[in-house]
Amino acid sequence: QVQLQESGPGLVKPSETLSLTCTVSGTSINSYYWSWIRQPPGKGLEWIGYIYYSGSTIYNPSLKSRVTISVETSRKQFSLKVSSVTAADTAIYFCARLLRLGDAFDIWGQGTMVTVSS
Amino acid sequence: QSALTQPASVSGSPGQSITISCSGTTSDIGAYNYVSWYRQHPGKAPKLMIYDVNNRPSGISDRFSGSKSGNTAALTISGLQAEDEADYYCSSYTTSRTVVFGGGTKLTVL
pLDDT at position A31, please?
Answer: 82
User: What ranges make up the beta strands (E) of chain B?
Assistant: 9-12, 18-23, 35-40, 47-50, 64-69, 72-77, 86-93, 99-101, 105-109
Mean pLDDT score, A58-69 = 97
In chain A, residues with a C-beta closer than 8 Å to the C-beta of B51 are 103-104, 106
Burial class (CB in 10 A: 0-12, 13-18, 19+), A6: buried
Chain A contact present for B88, CB below 8 A: no
Please judge whether A94 and B32 are an interchain contact, meaning their C-beta atoms are less than 8 angstroms apart.
no
Q: What pLDDT, on the 0 to 100 scale, is given for residue B66?
A: 98
Nearest CB among B32, B34, B101 relative to A46 is that of: B101
* pLDDT value at residue A103: 86
In chain A the beta strands, taken as DSSP E runs, fall at: 3-7, 11-12, 18-25, 33-39, 46-52, 57-59, 67-72, 77-82, 91-98, 105-108, 112-116
Q: Confirm if A89 and A63 have CB atoms less than 8 A apart.
A: no
The yes-or-no verdict on residue B74 having pLDDT over 90 is yes
Residue A5 has a pLDDT of: 98
Q: B40: which residues sit within 8 A by CB, 6+ positions away?
A: B46, B47, B86, B87, B88, B89, B104
Q: What is the pLDDT of residues B21-71, one digit of tens each?
A: 999 999 999 999 999 999 999 999 999 999 999 999 999 999 999 999 999
Mean pLDDT score, A50-54: 93
Range A71-103 burial, b when 16+ CB lie within 10 A, else e: beeeebbbbbebeebeeebbbbbbbbbbeeebb
On average, the pLDDT of chain A sits at 96
What is the distance in angstroms between the Cα of A38 and the nearest Cα belonging to chain B?
Answer: 11
**In this structure, which amino acid lies at residue B47?**
K
With an 8 Å Cβ cutoff, is B91 touching chain A?
A: yes
Determine the average pLDDT of the residues in A14-21: 98
